[in-house]
Chains A and B, each alone.
Chain A
Amino acid sequence: MWRPVSSRLFLVHLIGIATWTVVLLAGLITGLVLTSSSSLWWLLGMAAALVLAVWRTVIAARAVRAWGYAERDNDLLVRHGLLVRHLSIVPYARMQYVDVTAGPLERAFGLATVQLHTAAAASEARVPGLPPAEASRLRDRLTALGEDRAEGL
């Protein structure tokens, strides 16, 4: 019943982590070149940056698997999070509007994010990493169900 999000979302995360690590390493290397003293600390910093990158990669791989959503008859379930785990139950009837967004990286990998908004600001029903076809199918289904059972407030 739980549907996973696309594993390509992991690549998106990976590129983000890689960019971040490269910038950090570049900064550390320039520091090493410019100061040329007590190089041990700079090397240690680089090692730490690499370890951090590896750790974040592992976390990202698992975090992508932690995302999931399920369409029940009356509500949408979304779960995500590793450290802090979230499960949201959002009834279709409470839907105010649906957002489908895709950033440049997401678009490059053919992904999109669907977000369901309710009148409550605290509601979080966001599903990232959907293939565009699935995203538009989900959007259409949500809007159709929302119209059927509209009861905004």
Chain B
Amino acid sequence: MTSFGPAPSPAEPPTASPAPTSPWPEPAGVSPTPADAWPEQPTSAPAPAGPWVEPAGASPVPPGGSATAGKPQAAAGEQPGAEPRQRLHPLSPLLKGAKSIVVIVAALSWQTLGQVGATDFVLIVLALAVAVVIFSGIGWWNTGYHVVGRELRITEGLIWRRNRAIPLDRLQAVEVRRPLLAQLTGLAELRLEVVGGGKTEAPLAYLTVQNAGALRERLLSLSGQAGTTAATAPGSPVTEPLPLYRVRNTDLLVSQLLTPQAFFLPFGVAWVITQFVMEGSWTFIGIASTMTAMAGVILQPVRRVLRDWNFRLIRGDRLVLHYGLLETRSQVVPPHRVQAVRVTWPFLWRAKRWLHLSLDVAGLSRPEAGDDKSSDRLMPVGDPAAARALVAAALPGVDLAVLATSPPPRRARWLHPIGLRFHGAGLTAEVFVSRSGRVTREMTLVPYARVQSVRVVQGPLQRRFGLATVYADTAGGRAGAARDRDLAEAYALADELATRARQARTAPASPAVGPPTPVTPAAVIPTSMDPAPVNPAVITPSAVPPVVSPPVVDPQGFTPLAGPPHSAHPTSGRPDSAHPTSGQPGSAHPGPGAPGSTEPIDETFWQRPSQP
């Protein structure tokens, strides 16, 4: 939510912050990072290196400071002719053409080479390459961008002209990508993530690195919302701005060796070899196809290693992530754009106690559209301490170590014969926590302020047991899901989620720079969602009295059938849960009394829940 240092002063070098308490392996080496190809402007004030006319009043305003940050710029930007339209870098048609040439050669294939001969083949490729470059050149000539007020306008196209205006207050994240060729030529691609676009909107390819960094900084400072840098959460030491987090490359390698693909590769190789030895036939086709299959299997971990190489995160005013070997990416995510954080603990990483964190930002998260393309890593690999600090960086005020969840009622074991204890949900002061998975354990953290809608879904089997699932939908791809809760508890949970989401939405907006008072009432709310039948006294003390009388969300009418006895009961808003077992599971898991309490460690994510 909205709690950073009271005066984050982004120009301040991160080393100045009290680093010694942070659990990072190498907190030193923050500021210079000599081998760093990136100009580290993201944490500094807007660099005036750009060739555009720097509007007056841009640099003294801290980026994202308040509503006033946009105004002088908007005024300056709206002056006619204040900003001429910029073109992309002149080399970009060549780079784009190079990309297409690879595709062309692949399309022509070896067969064509055999048919037409080498010289003709080269000539064809050359002719096509020239055509492609000319075509890209025309596109480059007609492509331009400029900032008008709080909009980025991009013009492109010769025949079908497209003039696109991107309102910058809708900007979700900005990424600077540098593929291999762009790294060799000192260029970069700027990608803006906007909600609603099926793909990345307006990749500006290519700019010089300086221009890209400066433009990104400018766009982000223009997109800064009022009240995003409100106040710090009182008394939580984990919300200090992180100087830097760096994933050791050896860890990354080992972690990718511990994926199923890499782990079972030796067995596969051994099996194939024994097959060959048994049959005694070493045909070329057989070996080649085996090698291809192997390559396909092994490629994914290799790609992940290349992609996440040299991963480092800078937490200044925003999250800044750098990673990549062949294609470096540098991503800036304002913390209020984080829709959800997912913590994953793969089975094979348990010995190392390693976790994976992924970040959900609206617009870019397409979990199904290829894992390698999306830039959703918050931490490719790391130990719990690192994960704790990173979660605190992405979701200020959230401490991963004390996120308590309560399991579903005992009778849900008929639906989850194995590992019912690993399912759970909980309401903490800042986020809705839900976890699942016996083998690969997962935990989803959804900040209340990001909840878009709440759903209660009850399938036929669940109805037999008087259970229901509560979803907290976000604009990202992932939804928090409290599976198989007691029906009454599910309704109360949904109501509570809606209430807290509303409070979280309205709280930061009203006092933009005010003291943290609006945030504190949320912290007073009991953190644990009592797995016992819902006691209205637990629900109601939330700071704002519920506008709605609870019975509105009641199952009355929602269960028009004469169903099983426990679902046919809802005579009041809080059915007194006629089910006899529903009261029991809470006994083994006393929730934490207050957000600061550290006792429910045994209920945290990476530890084995105690036997109920």
Contacts and interface: CB of A to CB of B under 8 A. Distances in A.
Interface of A: 1-2, 62, 65-66, 68, 70, 72-75, 77, 79, 82-91, 93-94, 118-120, 122-125, 151-153
B453 A74 contact: no
B553 interface: yes
Contact of A85 (B172, B458, B501): B458
Interface string B468-482: 100101110001000
Contacts of A83: 459-460
A120 B498 contact: no
B416 to A, nearest CB: 18
Interface residues of B, number: 42
Given A86-B455, A89-B453, A72 B552 contact: yes
Contacts of A84: 457-460
Contact of A87 (B452, B494, B547, B561): B494
B146 interface: no
Contact of B457 (A74, A86, A120, A123): A86
Interface of B: 170, 172, 195-196, 337, 362, 450, 452-460, 463, 468, 471, 473-475, 479, 491, 494-495, 497-498, 501-502, 505, 509, 547-548, 552-553, 556-561
Given A65-B560, A123-B455, 19 more contacts: A1-B552, A72-B548, A75-B502, A77-B552, A84-B460, A85-B458, A85-B463, A85-B559, A86-B458, A87-B558, A89-B454, A91-B453, A93-B502, A120-B479, A122-B453, A122-B473, A123-B452, A123-B453, A153-B362
B592 to A, nearest CB: 26
For B196, B456, B556, the residue with the greatest tally of chain A CB atoms inside 10 Å of its CB is: B456
Contact of A62 (B473, B474, B494, B560): B560
B452 A119 contact: yes
B455 A85 contact: no
Q: What is the predominant secondary structure among interface residues of chain B facing chain A?
A: mixed
B557 A89 contact: no
B547 A88 contact: no
Contacts of A66: 558, 560
A72 B551 CA distance: 12
Contact of A88 (B453, B497, B509, B548): B453
B547 A73 contact: yes
A82 B559 CA distance: 8
A87 B552 CA distance: 11
Contacts of A118: 452-453, 473, 475
Contact of A89 (B195, B479, B553, B556): B553
For A1, A82, A89, the residue with the greatest tally of chain B CB atoms inside 10 Å of its CB is: A89
A125 B459 contact: no
A54 B468 CA distance: 30
A123 B457 CA distance: 12
A53 to B, nearest CB: 21
For B452, B479, B547, the residue with the greatest tally of chain A CB atoms inside 10 Å of its CB is: B452
Contact of B547 (A70, A74, A122): A74
Nearest to B561: A82
Contact of A120 (B452, B548, B560, B561): B452
A93 B505 contact: yes
Contact of A74 (B456, B475, B502): B502
Contacts of B557: 2, 68, 79
Going nearest first, the 4 A-B pairs with the smallest beta carbon separation are A120-B452, A119-B475, A120-B473, A123-B453
A91 B453 CA distance: 7
A90 B458 CA distance: 18
Given A70-B552, A84-B460, A151-B509, A89 B455 contact: yes
Contacts of A70: 552
A91 B502 contact: yes
Contacts of B362: 119, 153
Given A62-B560, A68-B557, A93-B505, A120 B474 contact: yes
A123 B452 CA distance: 8
Contacts of A62: 560-561
A90 B451 CA distance: 10
Contacts of B468: 85
A122 B471 contact: yes
A119 B509 CA distance: 19
Given A120-B479, A122-B479, A153-B475, A77 B553 contact: yes
A85 B453 contact: no
A62 B560 CA distance: 8
A150 to B, nearest CB: 11
A72 B474 CA distance: 21
Contacts of A87: 455-457, 491, 494, 553, 558
A131 B553 CA distance: 24
A31 to B, nearest CB: 34
Contacts of B558: 66, 68, 79, 85, 87
B453 A90 contact: yes
B379 to A, nearest CB: 24
A53 B499 CA distance: 43
Contacts of B450: 153
A68 B498 CA distance: 19
For A90, A94, A122, the residue with the greatest tally of chain B CB atoms inside 10 Å of its CB is: A122
B595 to A, nearest CB: 24
Nearest to A72: B548
A95 B547 CA distance: 19
Nearest to A63: B560
B433 to A, nearest CB: 18
A75 B553 contact: no
A54 to B, nearest CB: 18
Nearest to B497: A89
Contacts of B479: 120, 122
Given A66-B560, A72-B552, A94 B494 contact: no
